[in-house]
Structure formats: C-alpha cells, structure tokens
Structure 1
C-alpha cells in the first residue's frame, strides 16, 4: 500500500474511531476530574500531539489554545492524571512499519472519561498524521467537552428562563442557572450572567433573512443598544461557518459595540426547520474567553422543537 493510500485509510479509520466509542459505565467508579478543556497527553515525543491540541482557536478576539495540555512521560498506577476526563496516549513502535493504530476508550478507570490511543512507527509519521488529521482530534475532544458541559447543565438550569423561551418561541432549551438577568423584546429574549466587568450572554431571536450578518446586525441594533445614543451591537467579523446538512448551521465570529470599545466573540446556532437562532456572546476584557464562550455554546445545542420528545426537561 502506498503512503498516500495508507494515510487515506487511516483518515477513514480516524473518522470512525472518533465517532463511535465504547461506553461501559460502572456506577461504582469515581467521576473523572480535571478542568474544562484540559487534556493529559502521555508519551508525546517532540510535543507533536501537544502542539496540535494547543493550536489557537480562530474564533476568539485574542489567541487562546484549543486545549490546556498536561504532558507526562508515562502514567503510573497511582498517578492522579489517570483520573483526568480526557487523555491522549502516544506510543512509538517501530515494529508497526507504516501502520497507524487508533483506538478510543470510555470510562475505563473513572466515569465520564475518554482515552484516545495513538500508535505510530516513528515521530515523522506522527507529525504528518497530525498535520492532516489534527483538527479531527480537536473536534472529537471538543464534542466530549460539550457533552460534559450539557450533563452539568441538565442538573442545574434556569427553569424560569426556559418557560419564557417555550412561551415565546414554542421550543425547549436549557439555560444556565447563573444567567439570572433577562430582557424581552419583539421575538427576542436575552439572558445574562454578570460578574463585575465580565458578562456571558445567551439570546434567542427569529431569523427570517437568509443573510446571517444582515439579520444579526438588524436584531442586535434594536435589542442591544449601548449606554449612549449611537451605540449598538454589530458584527465585527464572521470567522467560521459549519453546515450540518439538513440539521443546523452554526456561525462563529466577533462582535463590537458601535462607537464604543466593547467587543468579544460569539457563536450562533440555527437548527434547520425552525426560524429561530440561539446565540451566545461574551464580554470579558483582559480575561480568557474560551471556557466562558464554550460553556454557553453547549447550552445552545440543547435547543429542541417542542414536538421533539427527546428534548431535555
């Protein structure tokens, strides 16, 4: 098999393995630990996987790493890193020839844990493989972080806000309990968590314009004014769009306050088959925004049609 075909086969294997994982939860096991978006990487020679996971997120105002990586040479039996919720192990095995082996495990030593095992013949192959497929590894671990955030949200959420959403839009969605401030407009709801100069926000509005930026700017200008006349929220940039055919469209970008110095990142989620957009945006000057935005983003993906029996209560 040629090198090109070998990598193509590994690409298909990676997609399969990073989509379907075993899950054997033992309720007697402790729950995994570690901070959100923290990954333990084991045996990573030349920090190849570490650099891949530490790549900056393109959708934030300032560069922030996709994941915070803890590097260790090996995991010993009593190593506390074994209890981490996300682990990637790297094994260099010259006996593998040109083969690349990928496996994933769930809930091995603790509950709510994922382990990705990567075995390659040498660091050259590992580097090339990460260059071509590193984004898939980041996406897989990001989805796992979203799962964890949604599980926490399901047990601690704002029922009053959710009743307002159901009444206005006829849909169900979980809102973090910390978001206690709210504002209501025409076909518009805004929930906010204030912490000093920082704020994390979720808003819902009806989307009738196929031009996302034009629709967003129109809604925000009306509903999110600044402190003085002539100040209002607008889109500063659109950095990424993800289309899940037949299911949803998600836009990431940055916002700014016209005639003011406020700004930050946002993500907007629009399920196909509805005229509703759910958006999260953050204002946190001189502070890391990654975890704040991604926690709110996880809430957006709980948006369900009222008719959907699978909607979370």
Structure 2
C-alpha cells in the first residue's frame, strides 16, 4: 500500500535520526559551523541575483535588498516546514509587497529566471554522477527503501499516466492563457526582461548564482568533514545529486527518507551508521537553519510571527490578482466589440 510505504519511509528517517543523535558527540563542530555559514552565504547570493532580476523588470522602483533577502529567507524557512514548495508562494507574495505597481505574474516569472542556472547545473551534476557510476542502476531503484523513489519506478504505467496528465494540463492552461489573458503574458514578459540582455544577465544573475552554488558545494564539503567522511569532489557531487533526485517530488519536507536511501546505497567507504548520521544530521541542520533564518526574518523585518497567515494571505492575494486580470481582459474585449 502506498500509504504504508510512505509511513515506512518516514519511520526509517526517524530511525536514522536516532542514529545521528547517538553519535552527536563525534561531530566536528568547527566544520559544522562553517557549513552553516556557507549556507547563509548561498542564500544571500541567490537573493542578490533575484534582486537584480526584479531591478531589471522595474527599473523605476528602488528595491530594498534587505527586505527582499528577508522574503527569500522566509520562503526558504517555510519550505523547510511544509513540503510542495509552499514557501515559494510566500516568497513571491512578500517580494510583491515591496515593489509598488508590481504583479504576481511578473514577480513569479522573475523568480523562475533562476531556474535557467539551476536546471543547467543540476543536469551537469546528475550527468557527472551517472558518468562516474555514483548513482544506483535503474533496475535497483524500485528496491530502495524510499517511497518517493520506489513507488514511481515500480509503477511505470501510473507514473506515465500522471506525467502525461500534467503535460496535457500545462498545454491546455498555456493555450487558454495565450488566447484569453493577453495582459497576463505581458506581465510575465516583464519579469523576464533581464533575459533580453545576455551580458547583464550573466553578470548580475548567472554569476551570483554561481557564487551561491560554490558556497553550497563548500557547505556539503564541510558537512562531510564534520561527520568524519572524506570531503572529496565525488562525494560532494553524489550528495548534491541525491538531494536533487529526492526533491523532485517532495512528499516529505526536504525529501526526508529518500535522501537517506540513496546515500546509503551509493556512498561507498564510510559505514552505514556514518552515512545515516551524516545524511540525517545534515538534513536536520539545513532545515533547522533555514527555519531559524526564515522566521527571524519574518519577525524582525515583517514584524509578525503568523507565518500561516502569510501563506493564507499570499494565496488569497494571488487569487484576487488573477480575478482582477481576468476582469480587466474581459472589459477590454467588451470595449473592443463596441
């Protein structure tokens, strides 16, 4: 049963967490602290890249980096608590509030500009891991003890049906928007303006995302050292590959369970206990650090502790913005027929 498999995957995560706490005294805290600082630097670098995207979309507005960085950290903190990227909705909502005259389609598409770098580098990391034989062969994936991985690979027909259904829904949605909501597409293009200036994009966005990626690489390097595992390029790339795969379909926050299954199956050399301790310890540390930074930003910058209210307000505001766009488009169409 899928529900039982998911519960079993979560239970394995908690068992691994118990293993981590049993070996807590063996952690090298200096390397651990450096890893957390690298993660903070990564978030700041990515927030600065996003700020540059929005500055290109709204050149007439002065965009506060402090408040935008706080929105970025807040979204990351909520993502650490709730799966399915609920924090991204809040992140876009908080950013929109900082820019007078901005719209959700434009701010959302500006956020998506960063996927150009993320997708490119993510594919390269996966190709490296595959070429080096670091990941398990496809026939072994259905047997890994992780619901997110085993269910989809063990039920290819169901997976194909869902993927095709999502693709059809996307095509229908794009077709509808292209023919009925012209103003929506104009706003989307506004958020992508920086892509029309390749040199500026490479200098102000791609380069800063590269800095963030290097800091993330360094963070995993220090995490490996903190748990007594060799900090080699291969090991870091393997960890990043496993994290990317586990987060594709996040049934649990941060892909809990799937990451442990992949790392135990692929990270050769260290003992199983060491791998579990590293994997769970790193995942707990990253989630806790994101929560601390995110909720500190919400409290100090946005002067509230009601993060659930922020999510609810973000969803309501986005729905209202969509309705207003649709009303405006219909009014324009009616005026044009007179």
Band of TM-score, shorter chain: under 0.3
Q: TM-score, normalised by structure 2?
A: 0.23
Which structure has more relative contact order (CA 8 Å, sep 6+)? It is 2
Which of the pair is proportionally richer in helix?
A: 2
Which of the pair is proportionally richer in strand?
A: 1
